A and B are shown apart, each in its own frame.
Chain A
Amino acid sequence: MDVSHIQREVLVPVIIRDDILQSVEKPARYTGGELNSIKKDPSAVDIRFAFCFPDTYEIGMSHLGMRILYNLLNERSDTYCERVFAPWTDMEAKMRENHIPLFTLESRDPVGEFDFVGFTLQYEMSYTNILNMLDLAGIPLLREERKDGQPFVCAGGPCAYNAEPLADFVDFFMMGEGEEIINEVMDVYAQWKIDGVSREDFLNRIVNIEGIYVPGFYDVSYNEDGTVRKVRPIKPGYPEKVRKRIIKNLDRTYFPEKMIVPYLNIVHDRIMLELFRGCTRGCRFCQAGFIYRPVRERTPEKLMELADKLQESTGYEEISLTSLSTSDYSGLHVLTSGLIEAMEPKQVNLALPSLRIDSFSLDLMEKAQKVRKSGLTFAPEAGTQRLRDVINKGVTEEDLLNSVGLAFRGGWNGVKLYFMIGLPFETMEDVEGIADLGLKVVGEYFRTPKEQRGKGLEVTISTSSFVPKPFTPFQWEPQDTMEALRNKQKFLKGRIKDRHLRYNWHDPQLSLLEAVFARGDRRTGKLLLRAWELGCKFDSWGEHLKFDAWMKAFEDCGLDPAFYANRKRSFDEVFPWDHIDVGVSKKFLQRENQKAEKAEVTPNCMTSCSGCGASSLNSGICTGYFGDKGVNGNKSDKDREARDE
């Protein structure tokens, strides 16, 4: 038996000279030592876990999931979890020039010698950074080339639900919420270190933990037309379907009472309080709305307690409420008034996310944030009621105009309106509707009495390009071609003439690539590797997107972007993610797709159950409970029925 992997070698931290750090932008990205960061004696633990976020420090440190799992893993006395972010290009150049391997912020030990290297997958366009970080760490990119004694590369997060583009690079994926599964994997690993035989032996030991997907244990076959024929386990005993994990009771699950306070200004530089998981609304374009089902809430009492502890341990001057649609939180009133009362004497502000505007929330905003009354954000997403019904966005024109009217009367004078173009079943009338809605908002301002409204109206219209995502009712739909998207942008630009209106749009290149990887199959892994070889990284940072290199990579791999992005799928097509079970059934998504075409809306989970299948996860709103409080009765019978149909 090879026991070399059992002995814990003491790793030698990398040394980064001052002159190197002085020559790069924001050196504090690489120096760690922040308040509440965790220092352990590396020789006193069995498991070294490098938690990697494939983007910059400022982006990665703003991600709540990473904060939770970092603290959770470090609660274990046998494990030391440390942080790693993608070095910015200036630092990467210095590291390569001086032969400095990728290192963790806590101990500065080389990542290539850890037990686990874990990546969180928050957006597709961070994938090239994963390859680049593995390369900087000296870890073979392809999982098949990794040997005993090298780290296991694992990944989780929303993009893991379509794991196939990364299947060649990642040893195993963890599907769903990580709080429980990651501990189960660590337990198995600690035992494997004592009596394990090989890498494959370890993967065999975890493959039947619910939520674990080991891509190497599955074989993919294709039809002649290039679509997937079947994804199946290579041996009996491996799960046919991998089901996501959820935390059933958020009040009772782990939430850190201390959080790192960065020295640098990060994107979300405040206490993040997670009110609930999931979303009841079911907007048909929104992946988060389906993959995080069912809705599960924390109670206001628990949240108050967490807020208090976090405020004391961080000294932050601001608390934000973090959830998919915070306005829908059943205890919002109690929580916000309680927080304002508790935090005001401590000079701590409450930052409110984009709430649905009604008189209650306006009043709240006045109380909570003594800020300038400038920007308010609304996301009607589509320009006409018909298209808003298609996407099941439960907002009417009247709602929007009432809300902005209230805001204008309250002294606000800036409004940002977010829309998507290229939505399924969209016509040019819908695109024109965006400009019309902008004008109506301007009209609402001028209807507001002069003495009530603020001076200098500015309405900003922004459009993003729709990207069809797996596990949504639009997973069968084609993305508009770049040409079609640009034409719509041009058309809309021509319609937005009023001097109070501004129009922002994005070039569709990035959206095309995002669409390819969102629904990519295992063959897109080669594409990813080729693009990285051609120098692609930090693709989501406009200045670094090398679209020509990407196009060359498609050509070199014999792949067609249109096959992945712009192709309409039939309902009987096998998807590369069909062997993953997020709770929501394919049948339900198909029904939703058909309703979308007829512009029929589906009520949200608070009103009635539509039988999406998530009740099989037996938790949250599906069991008639939000958090600890009963609402809504038991609706899951209908749900079960729908699932069985």
Chain B
Amino acid sequence: MNSIRIRFTRGEEVKFISHLDLMKVFERAIRRSGLPMSYSQGFNPHPQMVFGMPLSVGMTGSGEYADFELVSEAKPEMFVKRLNEALPEAIRVTAAGIKNTKSNIMASITGADYIMELFVREELQPEAALRSFNNMMKQDAIPVIKESKGKDGRDTFKETDIKPLIISASFEAMQDMHPGYEDFKTAFILKARFRAGNAANLRPDLFIKALSEQAGIPVAASRVHRSALYVDFNGVMTDPLDPAILA
């Protein structure tokens, strides 16, 4: 079996395309690159590839992952070079490794790092905001109402405690306002590690909702970047390209 795992970035210009469209971008890049991809059988053959947790529309990422099946061996350096030549500039492959394990990236994600720029219309004192943030984080539970579409198409509301899903979070005032956001009086930067993946997952928007509801920081706009994804190795959050993981 010839499998390869890549790490890639997803920049500003492609943050508004859907996960399905992103897969198409890779599919066409692979066709252009002439890399020895393995294709599925059937009427419409697709290259065999699996992506780590899809990034929500509107977010950028620098620690995204995908697994590819090849028909013959390929050196990771060569694979990175040729794929980058064929990809649009806003998507860059930054690392790759031969994957020997059968487990694929989609099923094994357990954590994610986020950097969020949060914009508030009102003028807030940074010290006061930091205090209410810390108070929220000290609570035993952080209940948030989660909205979702039920099977019948109607909105359902369910209260969830997001506290156990937060691994770490730090909060500080942003010094220079991002261009275009001059209408907003206050801005913060939040760096956080959340549980992610199929078993337990915290979406950034739910955390932002908690900030508004529980800490009184009414975030009106945000820019979210996912800087890393992790997989589990003996109970430790580990880089998906770690040799121990790929083995």
Contact = CB atoms under 8 A, between A and B. Distances in A.
A21 B221 CA distance: 11
A315 B13 contact: no
B45 A18 contact: no
Given A15-B179, A265-B21, A34 B88 contact: yes
B21 A264 contact: yes
Given A17-B181, A19-B220, A312 B32 contact: yes
Given A28-B21, A31-B13, A18 B30 contact: no
Contacts of B233: none
B58 interface: yes
B180 interface: yes
Interface string B15-56: 011000100110111111000000100011100000000000
B88 A31 contact: no
Contact of B57 (A27, A371, A372): A27
A314 interface: yes
Contacts of B27: 315, 317
A17 B89 CA distance: 21
Interface centre among A19, A261, A265, A314 (most CB of B within 10 A): A19
B223 interface: yes
Nearest to A265: B21
Interface in A307-345: 312-317
A312 B32 CA distance: 5
B201 interface: no
Interface string A259-295: 0010111000000000000000000000000000000
Interface string A17-30: 11101100001100
Majority secondary structure, B binding face? mixed
A504 to B, nearest CB: 28
Contacts of A371: 43
B43 A32 contact: no
Contacts of B221: 17-19
A28 B89 CA distance: 16
Contact of B29 (A15, A18, A21, A315): A315
B206 interface: no
A524 B29 CA distance: 48
B222 interface: yes
Given A28-B21, A312-B32, A315-B28, A22 B13 contact: no
A167 to B, nearest CB: 39
Contacts of B58: 18, 21-22, 27
Please tell me the size bucket of the interface on A.
20 to 34
B136 interface: no
B14 interface: yes
Please tell me the size bucket of the interface on B.
20 to 34
A11 interface: no
Interface centre among A15, A31, A263, A312 (most CB of B within 10 A): A263
Given A15-B179, A16-B180, A265-B21, A315 B16 contact: no
A316 B32 CA distance: 8
Interface centre among B13, B27, B220, B222 (most CB of A within 10 A): B13
Interface in B52-108: 57-58, 86-90
A313 B34 CA distance: 11
A186 B4 CA distance: 50
A235 interface: no
A289 to B, nearest CB: 35
B128 to A, nearest CB: 24
A17 B31 contact: no
B21 A263 contact: yes
Interface string A21-48: 1100001100111110000000000000
Contacts of B13: 31-33
Contacts of A261: 28
Given A17-B180, A19-B221, A314 B17 contact: no
A346 interface: yes
A261 B29 CA distance: 10
B45 A347 contact: yes
Interface in B128-184: 179-181
B33 to A, nearest CB: 8
Contacts of B179: 15
Contacts of A27: 16, 57-58
Contacts of A18: 58, 221-223
Contact of A315 (B21, B32, B39, B223): B32
Given A17-B181, A18-B222, A28-B17, 18 more contacts: A15-B179, A16-B180, A17-B180, A18-B58, A18-B221, A19-B220, A19-B221, A21-B58, A22-B58, A27-B57, A31-B13, A33-B14, A33-B90, A35-B88, A263-B21, A263-B24, A316-B31, A317-B31
29 contacts: A15-B180, A16-B180, A17-B221, A18-B58, A18-B223, A19-B220, A21-B16, A22-B58, A27-B16, A27-B58, A28-B16, A28-B21, A33-B13, A33-B88, A35-B25, A35-B28, A35-B88, A263-B14, A263-B21, A263-B24, A313-B32, A315-B29, A315-B30, A315-B86, A316-B31, A347-B31, A347-B45, A348-B31, A370-B43
Q: Pick the 8 closest A-B CB pairs, nearest first.
A: A33-B13, A315-B28, A15-B180, A315-B32, A19-B221, A27-B16, A315-B31, A263-B17
Interface of B: 13-14, 16-17, 21, 24-25, 27-32, 39, 43-45, 57-58, 86-90, 179-181, 220-223
